Amino acid sequence: MTTPLDFLSVDHALADEERDIRDTVRAFVGEHVLPEVGDWFDQGRIPRELVRELGKLGVLGMHLQGYGCAGTSATAYGLACLELEAGDSGIRSLVSVQGSLAMYGIHRWGSEEQKQEWLPRMAAGEAVGCFGLTEPDSGSDPGSMRTNARRDGADWVLNGRKMWITNGSLADVAIVWARTDEGVRGFLVPQGTKGFTTNDIHKKLSLRASITSELVLDDVRLPSSAILPEATSLRGPLSCLNEARYGIIWGAAGAARACLEAAIDYSKTRVQFGKPIGGFQLQQQKLATMALEVNRATVLALHLGRLKDAGKLRPEQVSMGKLGNVNSALEVARTARQILGANGITLEYPVIRHMNNLESVVTYEGTADVHSLVIGAALTGIDAFR
């Protein structure tokens, strides 16, 4: 029998362990996220306790090896992202920023002492990290960053601002990328460091169940042990973005699946002109197109996951996945919203929440335009960024 939400039977292509992880995360989302997330979105907040619960679930940095991390496959991590984002993009964002940006950054580019100090606590959800790359005047072009760090004796002194930073005021440690005489370098800035403050960004109409902040660095003095020793150019932060973008490829399929599910359910019970609206050809065409997009996105994510596990996933392939799946998810969410009619604009249903969240997802981690240009450069060998 055809399963509406897994029309192409992707389930059969998963290993038992992957299915178990997927089911565990799905159950967690059903129990801890879905009953509350409409209210969190409405109130513009995300409870700090959720981070500990996600730590207990084992999804924080789950694809990293050692230091208290689960060391799962990339595919298993992707399946977790799919289920988390079927709950809300804000929850997947929290997990992405923690595991793929902050923890990966320390794991890949940090010293042994930095790994020992931060990774076990971050995996357990006892410490939160954020990742400061974007600035008020430097978004798609991070190479134009103004935040700078200069040596002063044995110390470093940082000045500048970071903008739109997920988990900013929640974080115990910020990974801050700064221009230095030696290239772009990363620094671990613990919360409470003198001169380091955060301001939350309010009035967001997207990703409301997520904290987004400005980071302000005024003469922040750090010891030399705060620098990520192995990262010496923009390649440092961009390598972290590959990891987070990979999670988004899966997550977008999850948000789309949630919208499809809501639309199918609604279309079977909402009666107009004497029959369920799901019985009209126009609505069935919409549902069929949505199901196609959800399934195609999931198959693409799985394919890229298998490539990543084989160590063969290239950044331009990640760009194609992020571009394709987020655009598909946005289309699915917008169509679902129409199928739900007036009910589609309320938080009683998940659809407009996902639709609005996806407007952030299509912008962060490289806009759709940036990913088109990455693909274009790979196709032609001509860089059209500047």
Site of interaction with ligand TGC (CB under 6 A): 93, 96-97, 131, 133-134, 140, 142-143, 166, 233-235, 238-239, 241-242, 244, 315, 364-366, 370, 374, 385
User: Alpha-carbon distance 212 to 264, whole Å?
Assistant: 33
User: Alpha-carbon distance 118 to 129, whole Å?
Assistant: 9
Return the one option of ligand FAD, ligand TGC, none that residue 212 interacts with (CB less than 5 to 8 A, by type).
Answer: ligand FAD
Return the one option of ligand FAD, ligand TGC, none that residue 242 interacts with (CB less than 5 to 8 A, by type).
Answer: ligand TGC
Of 213, 207, 201, the residue nearest 176 (C-alpha): 213
Helices (H), the chain: 16-28, 34-43, 49-57, 74-87, 89-95, 104-109, 112-123, 235-269, 281-309, 315-339, 351-361, 368-380
Beta strands in 168-242 (DSSP E): 173-180, 183-190, 196-200, 212-222
Closest contact distance (angstroms) between CB of 337 and ligand TGC is 22
Q: Which is nearer to ligand TGC, 72 or 138 (CB)?
A: 138
Return the one option of ligand FAD, ligand TGC, none that residue 374 interacts with (CB less than 5 to 8 A, by type).
Answer: ligand TGC
Return the one option of ligand TGC, ligand FAD, none that residue 343 interacts with (CB less than 5 to 8 A, by type).
Answer: none
Footprint of ligand FAD on 160-199 (CB under 6 A): 164-166
Token pair 């060998």 is found at 381
Position among 178, 207, 291, 329 found at the interface with ligand FAD (CB under 6 A)? 207
User: Alpha-carbon distance 35 to 372, whole Å?
Assistant: 37
Give yes or no for residue 132 binding ligand FAD (CB under 6 A): yes
Closest contact distance (angstroms) between CB of 319 and ligand TGC is 8
Closest contact distance (angstroms) between CB of 237 and ligand FAD is 8
Local structure of 166: helix, strand or coil? strand
Closest contact distance (angstroms) between CB of 72 and ligand FAD is 23
Give the residue closest to ligand FAD by C-beta: 139
Position among 131, 187, 266, 349 found at the interface with ligand FAD (CB under 6 A)? 131
Q: Which is nearer to ligand TGC, 140 or 197 (CB)?
A: 140
The residue count for binding ligand FAD (CB under 6 A) is 19
Q: Which is nearer to ligand FAD, 320 or 370 (CB)?
A: 370
Is 36 considered catalytic here? no
Q: Which is nearer to ligand FAD, 31 or 385 (CB)?
A: 385
Closest contact distance (angstroms) between CB of 99 and ligand TGC is 10
Give yes or no for residue 369 binding ligand FAD (CB under 6 A): yes
Cα–chain center distance at 304: 16
Closest contact distance (angstroms) between CB of 370 and ligand FAD is 6
User: Alpha-carbon distance 124 to 136, whole Å?
Assistant: 32
Closest contact distance (angstroms) between CB of 88 and ligand TGC is 12
147 contacts 160 by C-beta, under 8 angstroms: yes
* H or E segment to which residue 156 belongs: strand 155-166
What backbone torsions phi and psi does residue 346 show, to the nearest 5 degrees?
-105, 160
Return the one option of ligand FAD, ligand TGC, none that residue 207 interacts with (CB less than 5 to 8 A, by type).
Answer: ligand FAD
Of 385, 337, 338, the residue nearest 358 (C-alpha): 337
- Residue positions counted in the chain: 386
Footprint of ligand FAD on 38-57 (CB under 6 A): none
Q: Which is nearer to ligand TGC, 309 or 316 (CB)?
A: 316
97 contact partners, CB below 8 Å, separation of at least 6: 129, 130, 131, 166, 167, 244
Local structure of 36: helix, strand or coil? helix
C-alpha distances in angstroms, 140 versus 345, 356, 386? 31, 21, 11
Stretch that binds ligand FAD, among 22-30, 179-187, 332-340, 357-365 (CB under 6 A): 357-365
Token output for 98:
């923690």
Return the one option of ligand TGC, ligand FAD, none that residue 363 interacts with (CB less than 5 to 8 A, by type).
Answer: ligand FAD
User: Alpha-carbon distance 81 to 96, whole Å?
Assistant: 8
**Which residues, in sequence order, are bridge partners of residue 131?**
175
Residues belonging to the active site: 365
Binding residues vs ligand FAD (CB under 6 A): 97, 131-134, 139-140, 164-166, 207, 212, 360, 363-364, 367, 369-370, 385
